Amino acid sequence: MSTADPVTPVLTKRWLSPNSWRLSVYEQLEGYTAVKKALSKPPEQIVALVKDAGLRGRGGAGFPAGVKWSFMPQNEEKRHYLVINADEGEPGTCKDIPLMMADPHSLIEGCVIAAYAMRSHHCFIYVRGEVLHCIRRLHAAVREAYDAGYLGKDILGSGFDLDITVHAGAGAYICGEETALLDSLEGRRGQPRLKPPFPAAAGLYAAPTTVNNVETIATVPFIVNGGSDWFREMGTEKSPGPKIFSISGHVERPGQYEAPLGTTLRELLELAGGMKDGVPLKFWTPGGSSTPMFTAEHLDVPLDFEGAAEAGSMLGTTAVMVFNETVSVPWAVMKWTQFYEHESCGKCTPCREGTYWLAQVLERMVEGKGTEEDIDTLLDVCDNILGRSFCALGDGAVSPITSGIQYFRDEFLALCETNKSKQSESALVGAQA
């Protein structure tokens, strides 16, 4: 655990300033100072810096950003692209959109630095289509940045050119998966691509491409200004740095809480004012619905990539959804499963057919028409989806079910009990007729 004060904000430090999204405000608060430093260094040095800082992707998988950048070819035989994943679709996740609303220039500055480091001259920001207000704000910020010479030709006299295109998606969770996103950006139906080739070899328009999450890129200017040692003061050895935790559900003050990686739910709950009305915690997700749920047993699990994994889940997007004792687990699991059924892209058999089946079984159970065998069937179907699907959506889809049954099997069984008694009743009715 780090010694830094868990509430010293980094990424969110400007959020509460009036008009924080304006270029002038951003500039007053250290904005666009990192880009000046970065553009005076060779690109490889920026890549090395980000590697040293140990910045890991904030989009869910936690892949080291510097390592990913180093996969990009050193030459420029083909155009290079930087694509910002601002699709933010994981249930419970709401960090990227607030960030882009409150501090869009930090993302833009990060884009300039990252693009420079990867020798890209065109960056696309792929924003979830539903968040029109956010798209407007990004457009305005990009325009401001062009006018001030932070984008366009010969940025700040460095000779480096960069264009940013803000692109609105059309509303599909799968388009947050990076290769589906690229398909969607190219104007096709968003479905994940076969890998290899990986995006760094053949991504957008078959050119070398890096896809990074909004938060990942927005962190970069701070690393450039603060240095890797400063960055590593926060968080843990393998998961350094600050992170925005989106806390939602039954807490007193839901919202975005920035804290170092490795912070526990117990600490986060303190920040968020504790459980709402004091009703005790029942279950929670560490990083969105695709990460297996935790219970009150896990209040002290350090929320970094390693800690969450050791405890049997994943850090995901640090979307902490908190549920108190009034919530039925089978019901919540059914709702999540319906989400995955609706969002499955349909490309591969296990996820397409499996989510359709799982949702029906769960709906039936919640209606009180389930049987004990249904629980075995659910688990076995999950086993046939997990690790058998084409992309991680299928894996994520089974997380709520397997973890829900792991911790709350009794609740599922109880639903079958009602059914059992009903069944015998109707059998009697049938016998009398």
Binding region for ligand FMN (CB under 6 A): 57-61, 63, 85, 87-90, 173-174, 176-178, 211-213, 216, 391-393
Three-state DSSP at 276 gives helix
59 binds, among ligand FMN, another protein, ligand SF4, none (CB under 5 to 8 A by kind): ligand FMN
Adjacent-strand bridge partners of 96: none
Apex 219 CA angle, 215 and 225, nearest 5: 165
Among 200, 333, 352, 408, binds another protein (CB under 8 A): 352
Residue 213 CB burial class (10 angstroms; 0-12, 13-18, ≥19): buried
Closer CB to another protein, residue 53 or residue 391? 391
319 binds, among ligand SF4, another protein, ligand FMN, none (CB under 5 to 8 A by kind): none
Query: Is residue 370 involved in binding another protein (CB under 8 A)?
Result: no
Closer CB to ligand SF4, residue 239 or residue 399? 399
Tell me how far, at minimum, the Cβ of 89 lies from ligand SF4, in Å.
Answer: 12
Closer CB to ligand FMN, residue 249 or residue 287? 287
Contact window for ligand SF4 (CB under 6 A) among 135-143, 144-152, 232-240, 343-351: 343-351
Tell me how far, at minimum, the Cβ of 387 lies from another protein, in Å.
Answer: 4
Tell me how far, at minimum, the Cβ of 178 lies from ligand FMN, in Å.
Answer: 4
**Cα 129 from Cα 184, distance rounded (Å):** 12
Chain-centroid distance of CA 211 in Å reads: 13
Adjacent-strand bridge partners of 81: 122, 209
Adjacent-strand bridge partners of 321: 248, 285
Tell me how far, at minimum, the Cβ of 173 lies from ligand SF4, in Å.
Answer: 8
Torsion sign (Cα): 95, 107, 12, 291: positive
**Cα 235 from Cα 244, distance rounded (Å):** 12
Residues 6 or more apart in contact with residue 82 via CB below 8 angstroms: 111, 114, 115, 118, 120, 122, 123, 124, 209, 210, 212
Query: Could you give the string, one character per residue 183-222, with x where binding to ligand SF4 holds by CB under 6 A and - elsewhere?
Result: ---------x------------------------------
Nearest CA to 290 out of 252, 260, 251, 316 is that of 316
Query: Is residue 174 involved in binding another protein (CB under 8 A)?
Result: yes
Apex 304 CA angle, 231 and 248, nearest 5: 105
Query: Could you give the string, one character per residue 384-403, with x where binding to ligand SF4 holds by CB under 6 A and - elsewhere?
Result: -----xxx-xx---------
Among 248, 355, 399, 419, binds another protein (CB under 8 A): 355
Max CA pair span of the chain: 91
Q: How many binding residues for ligand SF4 (CB under 6 A)?
A: 14
**Cα 152 from Cα 164, distance rounded (Å):** 8
**Cα 129 from Cα 417, distance rounded (Å):** 44
Query: Is residue 78 involved in binding another protein (CB under 8 A)?
Result: no
Closer CB to another protein, residue 62 or residue 240? 62
Residue 396 CB burial class (10 angstroms; 0-12, 13-18, ≥19): buried
Tell me how far, at minimum, the Cβ of 63 lies from ligand FMN, in Å.
Answer: 5
Residue 83 identity (one-letter amino acid): V
Among 279, 346, 367, 427, binds ligand SF4 (CB under 6 A): 346
**Cα 362 from Cα 401, distance rounded (Å):** 9
Q: Give the chain's length.
A: 433
Query: Is residue 382 involved in binding ligand SF4 (CB under 6 A)?
Result: no
Residue with tokens 């050791």: 310
Query: Is residue 344 involved in binding ligand SF4 (CB under 6 A)?
Result: yes
Query: Is residue 416 involved in binding another protein (CB under 8 A)?
Result: no
Query: Is residue 384 involved in binding another protein (CB under 8 A)?
Result: yes
Three-state DSSP at 247 gives strand
Give the binding site for ligand SF4 (CB under 6 A). Answer: 174, 192, 344-348, 351-352, 389-391, 393-394
Give the binding site for another protein (CB under 8 A). Answer: 172, 174, 189, 194, 341-350, 352-357, 360-361, 364, 373, 377, 380-381, 383-384, 387-390
